[in-house]
Amino acid sequence: MFKHKKSIRLGLIAIAIQLCTAQIAAEETKRSASEIAAELANPNTVLGTMNFNFDYISYGGDLPGAGDQSAFRMTFQPSLPYPLENGLNFFLRPAIPLIFTQDVPTLNGYENHGVDLGDISFDSGVGKTFSNGFVLVGGIVGTLPTASNDALGLDQWLLGPEALVAVVKEWGAIGLLLTHQWDVAGEDDYSTNITGGQYFYVFNFDDGWQFRASPTFSYNHEAVSGQRWTFPVGAGVSKTTIIGKTPWKFGIEYWNYVERPDAFGQDWQIRFTIAPVVPLPWGN
């Protein structure tokens, strides 16, 4: 009898959760694709998304054959914000890289690796959107030594601060994210001291179309001169559309690296993004 009552309670809870998420999805589809696209442009959005970034990277540099090397990878980055009081928003965003193919320089030329898991990174923080459109975010960023192949990871635990400032208006958004990471554990034969970041801009158009880009950059403080900067300029477009009851964002960007390590580094990159908007059980 006890097991029977417990099964009934669990069934009622499951039905309640399904009804709740269905109601959230239904409420979301009442908004137009353009409205959802504009909300997703806010780095402090309360909308949950499942982001799949597919990157093709072409390399270049002074090493013989550097221009013939490439990589193809996918990064899964869910974003499930949790609204707090006083207009604050808490978020945790892991980034899980799956490397399909990656050319790596060695003393004897190049080795190709894949399919492998890379080092998982994450950022967590609290953000606030002000009435004048300014957005401020502060938190921490880290990297975990999860790479399944030593050639594709650092074998170190990294940790450091992050800060973001942005302006969000009806026309779109523009902003800058800065991070810094030091090695705090793991391999001690070398030190890691990297400043990273991402600049982004979004211009909204009709029917969920946007002109946008969000290239990432880094500065390696431990590298010798000429090997420190990795900096791309980028441009792209995205389209938010509603399929069934679910909003989806599709995007493509092109990044050209105006600064890269002289010996071997990224030359250009194409990123294709698929990001469904997911209902959050705690509501928006």
Residues found in the chain: 284
As a whole number of angstroms, the distance between CA 224 and CA 245 comes to 52
Q: Which CATH class is domain 32-278?
A: mainly beta
State what percent of residues in the chain have pLDDT above 70: 89
Mean of the pLDDT values across residues 255-282?
94
Contacts (Cβ under 8 Å, ≥6 apart) of 126: 84, 88, 89, 90, 91, 137, 138, 139
Give the bridge partners for 77, in sequence order: 51
Checking if the pLDDT of 4 tops 80, the result is no
State what percent of residues in the chain have pLDDT above 90: 82
Alpha-carbon Rg of the chain, whole angstroms?
A: 21
Checking if the pLDDT of 18 tops 80, the result is no
Which residue carries 């990064």 as its tokens? 75
As a whole number of angstroms, the distance between CA 17 and CA 22 comes to 8
As a whole number of angstroms, the distance between CA 128 and CA 184 comes to 29
- Pairing verdict, β 246-259 and 229-243: antiparallel
Mean of the pLDDT values across residues 128-142?
95
pLDDT, tens digit, 9 for 90 and up, residues 182-196 = 999 999 999 999 999
Checking if the pLDDT of 46 tops 70, the result is yes
Mean of the pLDDT values across residues 16-45?
70
At 72, which amino acid appears?
A: F
